[in-house]
Amino acid sequence: MYMPILPDIAPYINSLKSRFMALLPILHYPDPRLHMRASVVDRVDADIRQLAADMSETMYAAPGIGLAATQVNRHVRVIVIDVSEDRSQLLTFINPELIEKSGECEGEEGCLSVPGIYETVKRAAQVKVRALNVEGETFELDATDLLAVCIQHEMDHLDGKVFVEYLSRLKQTRIKAKLVKQSRETF
């Protein structure tokens, strides 16, 4: 997920630079691979930890506030999120499940896979999520506001759903046309 207003994170990005991490290319809508359903992670091993580390570096560099493995063409249930202003509260969710949701909120969302597009989406206002961390331990988290929205947005990616699919067909067609045009201009 992407937010247009972000604090200056350049110093943080520099401190993150490490030869053990890599920036991953992000798929752009309407790439059909964004609609693949991600598989459950059987074992949190070194490969999954490396993926999570690379994903967090990619998210911070973008810059974004959330990234799902699907967006970097790895179809396993891993998401990373950091909605803190100083970019110091990295959360990694492996095999996340929503175990409770309540309320309703509407806010403008953006997505690293749908550059330049911001649209209002209706989501649950509070969620409780259960997941594994990078140590393979189960944890539960109660989230509200932006964090709750971000968790729902990223979990949708794991099911092959991009936020523009909540919009009218007409809007989706316009967004697709705009992004296809943008990608032609880039190459």
State the catalytic residues.
Answer: 154
- Contacts with Zn ion: how many residues (CB under 5 A)? 2
- Side-chain-side CA neighbours of 179 within 13 Å: the count stands at 20
Q: What are phi and psi of 37, to 5 degrees?
A: -90, 130
- Tell me, residue by residue from 107 to 146, as one string, x for binding to Zn ion by CB under 5 A and - for no binding: ----x-----------------------------------
| Residue 9 and residue 50 in contact, taking contact as beta carbons nearer than 8 Å | no
Q: Of 1 and 117, which has the nearer Cβ to Zn ion?
A: 1
Of 170, 88, 162, the C-alpha closest to 121 is 162
Q: Of 32 and 137, which has the nearer Cβ to Zn ion?
A: 32
Q: Of 1 and 134, which has the nearer Cβ to Zn ion?
A: 1
Q: Of 44 and 163, which has the nearer Cβ to Zn ion?
A: 163
Q: Which residue has the tokens 């993150």?
A: 16
**At a CB cut-off of 8 Å and minimum separation 6, what does 137 contact?**
none
SS3 state at 182 = helix
- Tell me, residue by residue from 1 to 20, as one string, x for binding to Zn ion by CB under 5 A and - for no binding: x-------------------
| Residue 79 and residue 154 in contact, taking contact as beta carbons nearer than 8 Å | yes
- Binding residues among 52-111 for Zn ion as defined by CB under 5 A: 111
Q: Which residue is nearest to Zn ion (CB)?
A: 111
CB of 157 to Zn ion, least distance (A): 6
- Binding residues among 159-178 for Zn ion as defined by CB under 5 A: none
Quote the CA–CA distance of 72 and 33 in Å, as a whole number: 10
By the criterion CB under 5 A, which residues form the site for Zn ion?
Answer: 1, 111
